[in-house]
Amino acid sequence: MTSAPPRTLLVSPGTQGAYPTVGAALAEAPDDGVITIAEGVYAETFELVDRRLTLRAAEGAAVVLDGSGGDWPVLLARGGALALLGIEVRARVAALRAERVSLSLDRCAFTAGEGAALDLRDCPDFAVTRCSVTSSTMGVVVDGSTGRVDSTTITDIAGDGVVVGQGADPVLTNCTIEGCGQRGVYVHSYARPVLEGCDISRTAAEGVAVAQQSKPSVRRTRIHDTRGPGVSFGPGCAGSVEECHLDNTAAPGIAVAPGASPTVVEPTRKPASTGEPGLDELLSDLDAMVGLPAVKAEVRALVDEIQVNEWRRRAGLAVGTVSHHLIFAGAPGTGKTTVARTYGGLLKSLGVLTRGQFREVSRRDLVGQYIGHTAEKTAGVFEEAKGGVLFIDEAYTLSRQAGSGGDFGQEAIDTLVKLMEDHRDEVAVIVAGYTAEMEDFLAVNPGLASRFSKTIEFEDYTPTDLLAIIERMIAGGDYLVEPEASPVLLRFFARICAEANFGNARDARRLFEGIRKAQSQRLRTLGRMPDVTELRTLTAGDVLAAT
C-alpha cells in the first residue's frame, strides 16, 4: 500500500480557509506535516518539542519570522525533526536553537543580535545548505553534533564566525566566513571538524583557532586578510592543514604551540598535462567523495610517506622497504572500489606504479576446477595486473573457512602470497571484504598478513552522507528534487541505517531508481505530455512512494 503524502497546511493571513498565523498551523499540524507560509513578516516565536515538521516559504514568497522583540530564541526545537526551506529568521537572542534534532535548513537567512544565530547541540544529523548568517553576535555554534554545512555564507559577526566544540565533527564545504570580530572558526574541546574549499577572511584574530585537544582537517581553504595567524594550534592539538592558501595574515601563517602536532601539506603545483589526472587532481577527487574522513586521512598519510621516501631517496638517504598492498575492511557500498581506483592513480602519479591500471577480480577469476589450474589462473591474473592495482573483492571467499573443505581457494591464497612478495614493487594488491571475515581470511596462511602494510576500515555512511550521495545521483541524472523531500529522505536513511542488511550507497542507488519509477508512474497518469520542469522534478510524494 502506497503511503499517503504528507499533509500540507497553508498559512496566509486574510485568506479564507487558511491559517492566520504560523502558530495556529503548528497547533494542528500532524507529525511529518508541511506548513507552507505565504509572503509576509510573522512576529512569532515557537517552541517545538519532539515534533516532526517542515516549514517552507510559498513559491517565490519572502517569509520572515521576526522574534527580534523577545528575549528568547525565535525557534527552539528539542527532539524530533525540523526542516526550514526558504525562510528568513530575525532574532534578538538566537534565531534557531536545536537540541537533539534531525535538522535540515535550505536557502534560509538568520540574524541574531545576541548569542548565536544558529545554535546546534547534540544533533545527531543536520544539513545546512545555501544559507546565510549575518549581523549576529556569533554565527554558527555546533556542540556535540554531526552534520554538514555547505555553500553557506557567514558574514558581519561580532564574535566568532563558527564555533565547534564538545567532540563535534561537522563537515563545512564551500563556505564563506568573513568580517568576524574575533576568530573565523574556533575549534575546541576535542572537536574534529572538516573544512574544505572554504574562504575565510577579515577576522580580528586567527582565521582558524584550535584548542583543547581538538583535531580539525582544513583542506584547500583560502585564509586571507586576518589580523591574527591564518591557523593556530594550541598545546595538545593535532589535525591537518592541507593545500591551503594563506595570504596577508599575521606571522606566522600557521602558529604551532609546543606540544601541538598538526600535519601541514603545502599546495602542490599541477604538473604539465599528460592526458591523465595529476596528484592534486586525484586527491581532489578523493576528498570530493562523500563522508569517509578516516579513509581519506589514511590514504593521504600513505601518499605523504611515499612522497617523503622519494625525497629521501633523491637526497641519498636510506629508505626502508614499503609494501603498497592494503586491506579494505567494511560493509558493501562504502566506496572501497572507488578508493582503490584512486589509490592506483595516486601510485602511478607518484611514480610507484608504471601503468596504474585497475584490475578487479573475485573468487571465480582466481580459483580453478582441478589441481594446478588455480595456480595458473591466479598467476595469469597477477601478470595482467602488473604495473597497476589488483583488487580482490570479497577476498574472504577464498579462505577455507568461507568455503567447503578441499576446494582450491587455499591454493589461490598460497600463490598470491608468493607473487606479492616476489613482485612487491610491481603491483599493489588490495583485498576487500567485511571486517570479521577478513580477519579469518588472513589467518589461513602464516605469511599472508605480513604482506599487507595496513588495514583501512570503511565505516558505514551516516544518514547525512546518504542524503548527499542521493542528491548527487539526482543532479547527475538531470533531475530536480523538491526541497521538502530532503527531510523525508533523511528520515528514511536514519531508519535503514539501523537495519541488519544495510547496503550504504547501494541502498541510496536503489532508492533513486525507485523514486524515478514512482515519478514515471505519476506522470503517466497526467493524461498529457509533461513539460520539461515536470519531467525533471521528483516530488516528496515520489520519495514517499519509493520508501
> pLDDT, tens digit, for every residue of 194-206?
999 999 999 999 9
Answer whether residue 272 shows pLDDT above 90: no
Q: Note the residue count of the chain.
A: 547
Other CB atoms closer than 10 Å to residue 198's CB: what's the count?
Answer: 26
The set of cell numbers assigned to 254 is 600557521
Answer whether residue 270 shows pLDDT above 60: no
CA distance 438 to 330: 9
The confidence score (pLDDT) of residue 240 equals 94
Are the C-beta atoms of 412 and 429 separated by less than 8 Å? no
439-479 pLDDT per residue, tens: 878 877 777 887 887 888 888 888 888 888 898 888 888 88
Beta strands in 122-234 (DSSP E): 125-129, 132-136, 138-143, 147-150, 153-157, 162-165, 171-173, 176-180, 185-187, 194-196, 199-203, 208-210, 217-219, 222-224, 231-233
Query: Phi, psi (5° rounding) for residue 194?
Result: -120, 125
Answer whether residue 267 shows pLDDT above 70: no
CA distance 178 to 197: 14
* Between 303 and 210, the higher pLDDT residue: 210
The set of cell numbers assigned to 533 is 520542469
Mean pLDDT calculated for residue range 219-228: 94
CA distance 97 to 73: 7
* Between 156 and 283, the higher pLDDT residue: 156
The confidence score (pLDDT) of residue 4 equals 62
The model's pTM: 0.55
Which residues, including other chains, have CB under 8 Å from residue 228's CB and lie 6 or more apart? 183, 203, 204, 205, 206, 207, 209, 249, 250
When pLDDT is cut at 50, 70 and 90, the band that residue 355 belongs to is confident
Answer whether residue 404 shows pLDDT above 50: no
Q: If you average pLDDT over each of 1-10, 243-252, 319-328, which comes out highest? A: 243-252
The confidence score (pLDDT) of residue 276 equals 62
Query: Phi, psi (5° rounding) for residue 109?
Result: -130, 140
Q: CA neighbours within 13 Å on the CB side: how many for 347? A: 31
Mean pLDDT calculated for residue range 135-140: 95
The confidence score (pLDDT) of residue 91 equals 96
CA distance 401 to 444: 8
CA distance 116 to 112: 6
The confidence score (pLDDT) of residue 3 equals 56
Answer whether residue 165 shows pLDDT above 50: yes
Q: For residue 107, with 0-12 CB atoms within 10 Å meaning exposed, 13-18 middle and 19 or more buried, which class applies?
A: middle
Mean pLDDT calculated for residue range 29-33: 93
Peptide bond into 252 cis (omega under 30): yes
> Which residues are 85's β-sheet partners?
56, 106
Answer whether residue 438 shows pLDDT above 70: yes
How far is CA 301 from each of CA 190, 283, 322, 447, 507, rounded to the nearest angstrom? 21, 12, 13, 25, 30
When pLDDT is cut at 50, 70 and 90, the band that residue 277 belongs to is low
Average of per-residue pLDDT values in the chain:
88
Answer whether residue 301 shows pLDDT above 60: yes
When pLDDT is cut at 50, 70 and 90, the band that residue 406 belongs to is low
Mean pLDDT calculated for residue range 497-501: 77
* Between 4 and 410, the higher pLDDT residue: 410
368-400 pLDDT per residue, tens: 776 667 888 888 888 888 888 999 888 888 875
The confidence score (pLDDT) of residue 403 equals 43
When pLDDT is cut at 50, 70 and 90, the band that residue 364 belongs to is confident
Answer whether residue 31 shows pLDDT above 60: yes
User: For the chain, what percent of residues have pLDDT higher than 90?
Assistant: 45
